[in-house]
Structure 1
Amino acid sequence: MKLILSVALLSLTIGMAIGNQDSTTLDLGEIIITENRMEIPFSKVSRNISVINRKDIETTPARSIQEILAFTPGVDVRQRGVSGVQANVGIRGGSFEQTLILLNGIKLTDPQTGHHLMNIPVPFQAIQRIDILKGPGSRIYGQNAYAGAINIITELPETKSLNIQAFGGDFGMRGGHIISSLPIGKYKQTISLSHDASEGHWYNSDFKVNNLFYESGYEINEKNKLNLMLGLADRNFGANGFYTDRFPDQWESIQTYLGSLSHSYSNKDLFIQTRGYWRRNIDEFRLRRNEPEFFTNNHISDVLALEINGTYTSKIGTTGLGFEGRKEMIESSNLGNRDRSFLGVFAEHRIEFLEKFDLRAGIYSNYYNEYNWKHFPGAELGYQLNSSSRLYTNFGASYRIPSYTELYYQDPSNSSNPNLLPEEAWNYEFGWKINKKYLRGELVYFYRKTENLIDYTRGPSNSQPNPNPWTPDNISQVTFSGIETSIQYLVNWGNENAKISELSLSYNFIHADLIQAEGVESRYALNSLRNQVIGGIRSEFFRKAEVNVKARYLERMDLSPYFLLDARIDYNRLKKIGLFIEISNMTNTEYVEAGFVQMPGRWFKAGIMVNIERTN
């Protein structure tokens, strides 16, 4: 613990020291954090939030949303394969079931299983920004924002544009995307298409991933706007080692459909947004790829939802109110045909007082017929030390209802438990952040006490391998606590021919304490990150070439630690024609992130980019 505190304090001391240097020619800019009801400047948010901006998305050595998230402090991405085939995303020691994924505020929860949360029908090159809320999000977003929430944000450009990219690489990797913006008067629209494929880095790891996304907006008048989103994600892949090592010929095919229509009304201090959306996920899984008759699971899940959110600003602050109705259905060869309905009500208020203080408090109330009403309060208190430095603290309750897989799935290795109770937790956070034109830094301590944590467990056995099935159960109590530090510094060292433009460093530590019967094995409760270090250096050469190098040290509680080094070189990135090269796992490290999948060693990708924009 002394070592951890020393590293945290050293990082912040370095950040404060370099913050006194003169680098005001560069500007990190102000960001507005947009939630479903309130919009708050990043500098005034009393939560630990990471923001991945457009430049990061373009220049990070990554080919998918999952890979980009892997460079975010406090986020644990466990990939099965590469390029967004499948990944589990956890925050602050939480499991993949405890993270809520949103697209422009629309919840992408999958009632079948959290393994499908990242089936996002948007090419990652079409994303403008990603906001990662760490800690309880139930008060803001509802029941499944248990350990955190990730909001993927797109935008509708004002001008006509066309972006084309094509690439190839090791393991027979190839793909590309086309993104076109075609505004017509008050009607804005974009359409994007992407394709990624590979022969695979080991036996039965080939994949094809296709995404199609359309978004449009129409300004009826100054007060009323309409927005439409349609999306399709289609992926099939060899799943060697994904869920078991006994069947190397596993195979899976998934199609995800998304449609939403929203209306927003804005009049001076009043804002109201109404939207409805539908999400369908079709999943076919085979234990033997070419023998579907041996063992095949087919699932079709549908989610229908209606939301109304509003804010009103007055002399006493900003008030937010919201309502959601949601129906989840599944037709499954293994889980059966089932449905469930939810109602949720949000209420919150934010005020600023005594010049430097601000307080935000609220509650989310959820009704589900099996558990009746549940209430989840929370509050945030901030103190602005000066224009660039802020202290804050917050607390909140978390809530998550079991997935259909946890309740009903059965096979020779797993049994079901239809009597599972929802997970609940209390969360506390204390933090300090600095936000200058050229420097951002943060130091955070968090604590989460969980009741009824859902995990797959099995009893001990004298036989090897253990013949007992894994069974989901409510573990009595688990606590997570940790320290998070991060620094982003725009240094501008050098000249126009060669300079280092940005340095970043983060360190996260998580401690977990599990109380359960002696000898019982746990699959997920204690497999989160213990130590995570992420560093980055961005350089520029001759005003044409950009080099982004990322280094990661990851130590999980149940796996050996490993080090990864990745890099990307962009040439003429913002010009009409550009080139890029990516090198992943430069140190050729052998490692496993999830399941039994051996991740690839050193591999290369290279591509070409074409950017065309018209201002009229």
Structure 2
Amino acid sequence: MKKLIFTGFCALFAAHVNAQTDTTTQKLDEILIQENRIQLPFSKQSRNISLVDRQQIETSPARSLPEVLSFVPGVDVRQRGVTGVQADIGIRGGSFEQTLMLLNGIKLSDPQTGHHMMNVPVPLVNVDRVEVLKGPASRIFGQNAYTGAVNVITSLSDIKSLRLQGYAGDFGMKGISLAGSLPAGKYKQNLAVSYDDSNGYQYNSDYQVSNIFYEGGIDLNEKNAIRGMIAYADRTFGANGFYASTFPDQWESIQTALGSLSHTFVSGDFSLNTRGYWRRNEDEYRLRRNEPEFYQNFHTSDVFALETNGTFQSKLGTTGFGVEVRKEQIESTNLGDHDRVLSGIFLEQMVNLGEKTDIRAGLYSNYYSEYGWKHFLGMEVGFQATESIRLYSGIGSSFRIPTYNDLYYVGPTNIGNPDLQPEQARSFEFGGKWNRTNWRAELVYFNRYSENLIDWVRTSADQPWQPQNFNEVTFNGVEASAFYRVNPSSSVVQLKELMLSYNYIDADFEGLPGVESRYSLTSLKNQVIGSVLVGFGKKIEWNTKMRYVERVSMDPYFILDMRADYNRLGKVGFFAEASNITNTDYVEAGTVQMPGRWFRAGFMVNLE
């Protein structure tokens, strides 16, 4: 099978070389990376950032955000089941608790547990792009951006449009999503809804997932604009072995609500964005699905936040500043009732030294009601060696406070630790980017020295898991990637997009004698990701994606996925997807067995 696929790749590439005509590059370089304060074009960034745009989202064999992210270099996606019903995201060998998820710059971190981080209440059909910032991001986004951050971006359009998608597949899987843009004068607005469900690929793995998302905005005048969002997600699923392999009848139901309102003021070289937001997460968990009286937990967490971010230009360069106040609270039948306040001050400066060198440095000072003041320094240096080559280096510090699950959980298989100390890390990276015509390539080395790393451990299989602090852990890693894209041409067969990446991560710690680790000692070690998008004529596209993943103390696995589209950009189109074509036997998280080969097919309608 693998030999046949490889032969097909070679034949397609040869056909492309013979048939290729003049093409123009579809530039991603000038897209502004959304970092709340100083925003720079993708091509001018002095950090390791991956950008997933609309074309990559639409042509991926994926029905959910976690599935899309599984094809991003350096990102470790650990799904429990399919379609992202429950998934954890790690970056550069970090755990799911050390990655910050954002929606249009709004933090989605949950004080209960990082397992809720991927409860992003936006249908995939409404996502414009995803920005993945790798490395310490505390100076930019604050607490929880320990090893990186993922920012999901939506956009408001002044053009009326409607996108409808539906699909069905194995395991009784089906779904439908709708996204529409209906501007009214100066007021722009989007509405998106989606519904997905399945009978499950194994016992007690059924799910129902619903999302509704609304955003609107208006430019009051040349200087002032207002934007608001309201979103809601409902996830109910059988959780066979999700958190304890000895209980196959686990069940969970999670509802996430998000609301935000922001005001932007721009005048000359000065800009200021002020916003407030609220996020609520309700979680009902049963150890035995049909016997709630046996063991049942209810958790309700709320986050209230107000922040102001701004920039101004002067002779000294670009200055960024910001202030935030955030209150987190939880009411729980298991964890108890708790609350804490976090506040912070951001300050950064970017200067250009001549035409080729730029320096960006800053400080984030954070106050925690439980831990006092913490300070995060960071700096990046960029050097434009040639028109095509950019070299960069950066250093930074990061910090993560324990979640309420880490501190207080009490259950038959997990026990919290109220004596936990916050995690801290110092990171360094050095890399180079090459960008020319249709090609982009990047090579980067990184080092992260962590203190008080938190991980759940146990001394034997019949003992409960409990989080502990490790003293010192050092991660070293290398990431190499290459990306090729051209605009559509009149070629009968055209290689439209090609990507290949390799990541290697080495962690210097060994498991403590007689102690089993749940997360840290299963971190990413080797990762190879490749994809080929081929066009046949004007309407047919075929995307092939592969992943080779090896984690510490776990068996490696190889996954091959494919998707074929017909008339994707037309008014009515169709697609078919095949996942795990290699029928690989593999586990991504805990002991949850992932499905073998499976298929989906569907349609899309695009109206403007």
Residue aligning to 2:233: 233
| Structure 2 counterparts to residues 258-297 of structure 1, below 5 A | 258-297=258-297
Answer whether contact 1:477 1:515 (CA < 8 A) is retained.
no
Q: How does 1:429-444 map to 2 (within 5 A)?
A: 429-444=429-444
Partner amino acid, structure 2, of 1:437: T
Question: Deviation string for 1:383-433 (max 9, x for gaps)?
Answer: 101122100000000100100000000112222211111100000000000
Equivalent residue number for residue 478 of structure 1 = 473
The alignment partner of 1:32 has SS state of coil
Matched, 1:29 2:24: no
Q: Look up the equivalent residue of 1:534 and give its one-letter code.
A: I
How far apart, in 1, do the equivalents of 2:212 and 2:462 lie?
Answer: 44
Contact 1:99 1:147 in 2 (8 A): yes
Separation in 2, partners of 1:42, 1:437: 15
1:41 Cα deviation from its structure 2 partner: 1.2
Shift of 1:23: 6.4
Residue 11 of structure 2: aligned partner:
none
Is the 1:493–1:500 Cα contact (8 Å) retained in structure 2?
no
Q: Aligned with 2:171: secondary structure? A: coil
Q: Deviations over 1:171-196 (max 9, x none)?
A: 10001101111000110000000011
3-state secondary structure, aligned to 1:121: coil
Asked if 2 retains the 8 angstrom alpha-carbon contact of 1:38 and 1:311, the reply is: yes
**Per-residue deviation at 1:42?**
1.2
2: CA distance, partners of 1:22 / 1:269:
44
**Aligned residue among 527, 530, 538 for 2:533:** 538
Return the offset for 1:517: 4.0
* SS class of match (2:508): strand
2:585 maps to a residue whose letter is E
Q: For residue 405 of structure 2, give the secondary structure of its aligned residue in structure 1.
A: helix
Contact 1:555 1:562 in 2 (8 A): yes
- Deviation, 1:159, is 0.6
Name the SS of the counterpart of 2:385 in structure 1: strand
- Worse overlay, 512-521 or 472-481: 512-521
Distance in structure 2 (CA, Å) of the matches to 1:370 and 1:343: 12
Please tell me the residue identity of whatever aligns with 1:563: F
CA–CA separation in structure 2 for the residues paired with 1:373 and 1:437: 47
Change in 2 beyond 3 A, CA 1:283/1:150: same
Q: CA deviation at 1:457?
A: 1.8
| Of 589-598 and 182-191, the range deviating more from structure 2 | 589-598
Do residues 165 (structure 1) and 160 (structure 2) align?
Answer: no
> What is the count of residue pairs matched by the alignment?
589
Residue in 2 that maps onto 1:323: 323
What's 2:581 paired with? Answer: 586
Residue 195, structure 1, aligned to residue 195, structure 2: yes
* Superposition CA RMSD, Å: 1.5
Q: Who is 2:603 aligned against?
A: 608
Query: Does residue 510 of structure 1 match 2:505?
Result: yes
CA contact (8 A) 1:492 1:500 kept: no
Q: Is the aligned partner of 1:389 residue 2:389?
A: yes
* Cα distance between partner residues in 2 of 1:310 and 1:481: 35
Kept after mapping to 2: 8 A contact 1:492/1:502 = no
Residues 37/491 of structure 1: CA separation in 2 closer, same or farther (3 Å cut):
closer
Pair 491,271 (structure 1): closer, same or farther in 2 beyond 3 Å: closer
Report the CA distance shift for 1:472/1:29 in structure 2 as closer, same or farther (over 3 A). closer
Q: Are 1:567 and 2:562 matched, yes or no?
A: yes
Question: CA deviation digits over 1:506-559, x for unaligned, max 9?
Answer: 000000011664322222112111110011111001210011100111111121
Counterparts of 2:580 and 2:369, CA distance in 1: 49
The alpha-carbon deviation at position 22 of structure 1 amounts to 9.7
- The CA distance in 2 between the partners of 1:530 and 1:469, in whole Å, is 27
User: Aligned residue for 1:374?
Assistant: 374
**What residue number does 1:4 align with?**
none
Match for residue 599 of structure 1?
594
For 1:232, give the aligned amino acid. Answer: Y
| TM-score where L is the length of structure 2 | 0.95
Write the letter of the residue equivalent to 1:484: E
SS at match of 1:162: strand
Give, in whole Å, the separation in 1 of the partners of 2:149 and 2:506: 21
Secondary structure of the residue aligned to 1:56 is: helix
Q: Unaligned 5+ residue runs, structure 2?
A: 1-16
2:310 is aligned with 1:310: yes
Could you tell me how far 1:43 is from its partner in structure 2?
A: 1.3
Using the alignment, how far apart are the partners of 1:388 and 1:29 within structure 2?
14
Can you list the C-alpha shifts for 1:71-124, whole angstroms capped at 9, x where unaligned?
Answer: 000000000011120100000000000000000000000000000000011001
Which amino acid letter does the alignment assign opposite residue 481 of structure 1? N
In 2, are the aligned partners of 1:540 and 1:547 still within 8 Å (CA)? Answer: yes
- CA-to-partner distance for each residue in 1:43-69, whole Å, 9 max, x for gaps? 111100000001001110000000000
Question: Within 2, Cα distance between the matches of 1:163 and 1:415?
Answer: 46
Amino acid at match of 1:564: I
Distance in 1 (CA, whole Å) between partners of 2:116 and 2:465 is: 21
Give the structure 1 partner of residue 9 of structure 2: none
Matches within 5 A, 1:149-164: 149-164=149-164
CA distance, structure 2, for counterparts of residue 543 and residue 139 of structure 1: 46
For 1:315 and 1:386, the matched residues in 2 are separated by 26
2-side partners of 1:282 and 1:374: how far apart? 30
Residue in 2 that maps onto 1:215: 215
Q: Please tell me the residue identity of whatever aligns with 2:390.
A: R
Rounded to whole Å, the distance in 2 between the matches of 1:351 and 1:609 is 47
1:227-278 superposed Cα distances (whole Å, 9 cap, x missing partner): 0100000010000010112111110000000000000000110010000000
Corresponding residue for residue 493 of structure 2: 498
1:475/1:516 contact within 8 Å kept: no
- Runs of 4+ in structure 1 off by over 6 angstroms are 491-494
Task: For residue 437 of structure 1, report the CA deviation from its aligned partner.
Answer: 2.9
* CA distance in 1 between partners of 2:510 and 2:164 (Å): 53
**SS of the counterpart of 2:33?**
strand
Q: Residue 473 of structure 1: CA displacement?
A: 1.2
Counterparts of residues 408-447 of structure 1 (less than 5 Å): 408-447=408-447
Distance 1:273 1:293, change over 3 A: same
The sequence identity of aligned pairs, in percent, is 60
What secondary structure is seen at the aligned counterpart in 2 of 1:454? strand
What is residue 14 of structure 2 aligned with on the other side? none
Any stretches of 5+ residues in structure 1 without a counterpart? 1-17
Shift of 1:138: 0.3
Tell me, yes or no, if the aligned pair for 2:100 and 2:109 is still in contact at 8 Å: yes
